[in-house]
Structure 1
Amino acid sequence: MTPQVLIAGAGPTGLAMALALEKHGISFRIIDQSSGPGKESRAMAVHARSLELYQQLGAARLLIQNGYPLPQLQIYREKQQRAAMDFHEMGRGLSPYPYVLILPQDEHERLLIDKLKEKGIEVEWNTELPSFHQDSGHVDVVMEKKDGTETSRFAYVCGCDGAHSSVRENLGVPFTGSTNDHVFYVADVKSPADVESGQMHLFENTFSLVFPIRTTGSLRLIGLVPKRFLDPQREVDASRLLPFLEKQIGIDVEHVHWFSKYAVHHRISERFRENRVFLAGDAAHIHSPAGAQGMNTGIGDAVNLAWKLAAVVKGNMDASVLDTYDTERRSFAERLVATTDQAFQRIAGDGMTSDFVRNVMIPRVIPWMTKNLPVKRQVFKTVSQIRIHYRNSGLSSGKAGRVQGGDRLPWLPGENGDNFRLLQSADWQLHVYGSASTELRRTAEDLGLPLHEPAWTSAGKEAGIPKHAMFLIRPDGYIALADPEQDTEALRSYLVAWGRADV
């Protein structure tokens, strides 16, 4: 089968894209200029919405088995524990994954690579994409490999190749934003310290985060480098910094597996699509590590784009559906870059505001807030990304109760399993929480749409779902059409508008 899509980049975004395209039956190739998978832990947190998407792709259980839910974040001031933020089942009743999963990025990538290998798909390492040319019907790409140059043709190219994306540079798309003046360090170290939960240490107007990496028995250290440990070229003197951290955090470092420094950028691509070429993940947007949103946003990009590419490649939808990738994901990325930038400035900045955040808000106010159930639920909705919606998208229509087109389908537990188990087909489907009319059943059969009728329960009522309302669900688990009256003409009109071939 001739590959239809080229994925450039085999980080979490590219690998999630590969799993999603495979799920939808689309042939592709995935390349990466590196010699193999990453060896650094880098991104640590996998949020609930990412796990929900991975559940559709058959990978959630695998990741959960190799990671661990973060129980709490303990907050220390001058080596004394002052408070703790409890994360245990923070989102109970909101998601099948009501926690933050800690799983180092290198292990995360390895698991996805192994999952692809089980399906007969290999990442093509040591392969660069120096140039490509696209016209109205295809993209011709030039790939540089160890054994020479290859020219191939694809229907679409997905640039998942990171902050220094060669795909974005070839497109000439501006990557606007700023770089913060502060320098951060990140290190994986071997230590005999007994660390079970995450820790935040506040000292000398700076901070350090500590997380256990259970797969290797090591610790991850992340923090702001005090200026006295920077040379004139802003390089970090690790030989002086690490003993300082040992003293401030109260740990012994036996061995440094990996140490790196980085600057925090806040940038977003002017466009996520240029005809037949798309940008996703860090190639499209980068922001501060506040809230651990970066990798999870890239996974969301990948799943959003994959089903739309599949629908167009198969001829099931009009190509205009691809425009909604940019409008849906870029609008979210813009909000994310702005909010994480603000949060970062308040935590890491200089001045009275940042002093108040570090000395009062973090050790006193925020832990209190997370013990308040309504506040705790709102924090989970935001950080976990289950609150993301596409109400302003052209793909979104209608309203039933509190649920609108563009919303993530609310998660509802049930005696016979939750409603998310129905999404594992990753295809269009109809849900009626109650009973479907004879006319709707006939229409669904005519349209070739699976129709599910889960019982309407108190959980549905609490989620704002009216009894017997009709919901057309997209392949990524978002609601395309919400209708309280089971209007079959509205259903047909929606599908005709988007060029569904089977209508």
Structure 2
Amino acid sequence: MPLHKRGCPETPVIVAGGGPVGMVAAASLAREGVPVVLIESAHRPMTDWRASTFHAATLELLDGLDLTGRMLAEGLRVPVYHFRDRKDGLVAEFDFSLIADETRFPFRLQLNQQHLVRMLHERLSRTEGVELRFGTRVTSVAVHEEGGATVTLAGPEGEHTLTGSHVIGADGAGSTVRRALGIDFAGYTYPERFLIASTDVDLSSVLPGIADVNYVADPHEWLFLLRTPESWRAVWPVPAEQPAEEATAEATLQRRFQGLAPRAEDYPIVDRQLYSVHQRVAETFRVRDVVLVGDAAHINSPMGGVGLNSGIHDAVDVTRRISRIRSGRGDAEPELSAFADIRRRVALEYVQADTQRNTDRLRETDEEVRRAGHEEMRATAADPVRARAYMRRASLLESVRRFGIGLPPGEHASAATP
């Protein structure tokens, strides 16, 4: 009998990856009483500061996991953000209150992703039916024609295997699960790298009038500037030819911050990261009972703050389907095919398209194109109908209302609640 049928209720779902997307997948399954084994190569929960934005559609999903209240208590609500020009100043202001009639979360919540990981780790550590294996990595995956899959693991107890009814690959851009399945990861890598640096100086005091989230266009050195509960964070492009040591050196960071807002004292730097940025989507998100979610399935520019959010949507979508399959309320093939088709379509039509457009708008060098882009942003912000449509898309409400999250095959999204 296939392992995903109710005849083997003790067979777990294996989640590869203990970042925020993998943790959400495990919590979503555990909430439905599905046994889970989460595999993470790091020896402790991840503390990466990279992603920090949670949009309205994501907060709705996390509210279903009883997480949003705690996140709101620790995070920073940002109802307004700016699109600015490095030389000309404010171009357009966008206000999430335009979608307040559609969601209880009309704002961006700024909260570094490691806090969500911490909250989920605390919960999962004491949840019956959940096993967390840190310091263990997946080395190979074997998919069974009769159902389920077996992963080979390397960890403190040596090499061994584990069989699950399903395997969820949430193991990042370099996904071992994706590579083991031979899935192509088509796309490209930006020539420049991105530098993230954080300071505990209140930049609003030295840059009066800025919002808590700012996209700043400039043909030579564009900038993304946002506030989190711990600090202010800046993201700059780094030329491909600049050595990493020079890009992250203290003198370089001081020069960057002082060029943004001159200050008598040095800027205290509390975090710095340099990373390559890609626009890539897996050719498929599924091989039989093994699926890909988050960065394992799609990676993109951070301009828009939708990568982590879309990954969480992937996780909730597929775990709802797996729960139905295991309980006998859903058929495996149509359920998992719907997941793979819908989530890949969202990645291409929304995540990739919007983040590419956002990044291009910031770094445009053609002056005529740049000015036309600015005028378009001004016109959009000034028209309540266009601005509302823009905010629905930016908050991911449009894609969720259009496609739903984990709906049974054939059910129309407009009839569903988040």
1:238 equivalent in alignment to 2:249 = yes
Instruction: Supply the distance in 2 between the matched residues of 1:349 and 1:81 (Cα, whole angstroms).
Output: 15
Q: Structure 1: which amino acid aligns with 2:354?
A: T
Percent identity between matched residues is 24
Paired position in structure 2 for 1:493: none
8 Å Cα contact 2:45-2:118 kept in structure 1: yes
1:151 equivalent in alignment to 2:145 = no
8 Å Cα contact 1:70-1:198 kept in structure 2: yes
Cα RMSD for the two superposed structures? 2.8
Paired position in structure 2 for 1:117: 125
1:89 match: secondary structure: helix
Q: Cα deviations across residues 56-91 of structure 1 (Å, max 9, x unaligned)?
A: 221121211211221333455457743551435241
Instruction: Supply the distance in 1 between the matched residues of 2:317 and 2:36 (Cα, whole angstroms).
Output: 17
Q: Structure 1: which amino acid aligns with 2:174?
A: H
Equivalent in 315, 323, 327 of residue 341 of structure 2? 327
2:222 match: secondary structure: strand
How far apart are residue 356 of structure 1 and its match? 4.7
| Cα gap change, 1:38 to 1:256, in 2 (>3 Å) | farther
Q: Structure 1: which amino acid aligns with 2:361?
A: I
Instruction: Supply the distance in 2 between the matched residues of 1:117 and 1:367 (Cα, whole angstroms).
Output: 48
Instruction: Supply the distance in 2 between the matched residues of 1:203 and 1:394 (Cα, whole angstroms).
Output: 42
Instruction: Supply the distance in 2 between the matched residues of 1:149 and 1:21 (Cα, whole angstroms).
Output: 26
2:135 match: secondary structure: coil
Instruction: Supply the distance in 1 between the matched residues of 2:369 and 2:121 (Cα, whole angstroms).
Output: 40
Q: Cα deviations across residues 343-389 of structure 1 (Å, max 9, x unaligned)?
A: 1452254541xx45655634x65255224221121012111112122
1:209 equivalent in alignment to 2:209 = no
Q: Structure 1: which amino acid aligns with 2:228?
A: I
Paired position in structure 1 for 2:139: 130
Q: Cα deviations across residues 430-451 of structure 1 (Å, max 9, x unaligned)?
A: xxxxxxxxxxxxxxxxxxxxxx
Write the mapping of 1:9-408 to structure 2, written as runs, cut at 5 A.
9-74=17-82, 77-78=85-86, 81-83=89-91, 85-120=93-128, 121=130, 123-135=132-144, 136-194=146-204, 197-203=212-218, 205-214=220-229, 216=230, 218-225=231-238, 227=239, 230-231=241-242, 236=247, 238-250=249-261, 253-320=266-333, 321-340=335-354, 342-344=356-358, 346-349=360-363, 351-352=365-366, 355-356=367-368, 361-362=373-374, 365-388=376-399, 389-390=402-403, 395=408, 397=410, 405-408=411-414
Instruction: Supply the distance in 2 between the matched residues of 1:159 and 1:339 (Cα, whole angstroms).
Output: 24
Instruction: Supply the distance in 2 between the matched residues of 1:155 and 1:199 (Cα, whole angstroms).
Output: 44
How far apart are residue 242 of structure 1 and its match? 1.4
Greater than 6 Å deviation, 4+ residue runs: 232-235
Instruction: Supply the distance in 1 between the matched residues of 2:241 and 2:200 (Cα, whole angstroms).
Output: 24
How far apart are residue 244 of structure 1 and its match? 2.4
8 Å Cα contact 1:31-1:124 kept in structure 2: yes
| Cα gap change, 1:370 to 1:80, in 2 (>3 Å) | closer
8 Å Cα contact 1:390-1:396 kept in structure 2: no
Q: Cα deviations across residues 315-343 of structure 1 (Å, max 9, x unaligned)?
A: 22222222211111111112135413641
8 Å Cα contact 1:176-1:267 kept in structure 2: yes
How far apart are residue 245 of structure 1 and its match? 1.8
Instruction: Supply the distance in 2 between the matched residues of 1:13 and 1:394 (Cα, whole angstroms).
Output: 19
Instruction: Supply the distance in 2 between the matched residues of 1:268 and 1:76 (Cα, whole angstroms).
Output: 30
How far apart are residue 406 of structure 1 and its match? 2.8
Q: Structure 1: which amino acid aligns with 2:152?
A: V
> Scaled by the length of structure 2, what TM-score is found?
0.86
How far apart are residue 164 of structure 1 and its match? 0.4
8 Å Cα contact 1:230-1:236 kept in structure 2: no
1:264 match: secondary structure: strand
Unpaired segments of 5 or more residues in structure 2? 1-8, 206-210
Q: Structure 1: which amino acid aligns with 2:116?
A: H
> Scaled by the length of structure 1, what TM-score is found?
0.72
Number of equivalenced pairs: 397
How far apart are residue 132 of structure 1 and its match? 2.5
How far apart are residue 238 of structure 1 and its match? 3.2
2:247 match: secondary structure: coil
| Cα gap change, 1:341 to 1:368, in 2 (>3 Å) | closer
Instruction: Supply the distance in 2 between the matched residues of 1:88 and 1:172 (Cα, whole angstroms).
Output: 41
8 Å Cα contact 1:91-1:380 kept in structure 2: yes
How far apart are residue 308 of structure 1 and its match? 0.9
Paired position in structure 2 for 1:8: 16
| Cα gap change, 1:255 to 1:406, in 2 (>3 Å) | same
8 Å Cα contact 1:206-1:348 kept in structure 2: no
Instruction: Supply the distance in 2 between the matched residues of 1:18 and 1:251 (Cα, whole angstroms).
Output: 46
Instruction: Supply the distance in 2 between the matched residues of 1:337 and 1:325 (Cα, whole angstroms).
Output: 16
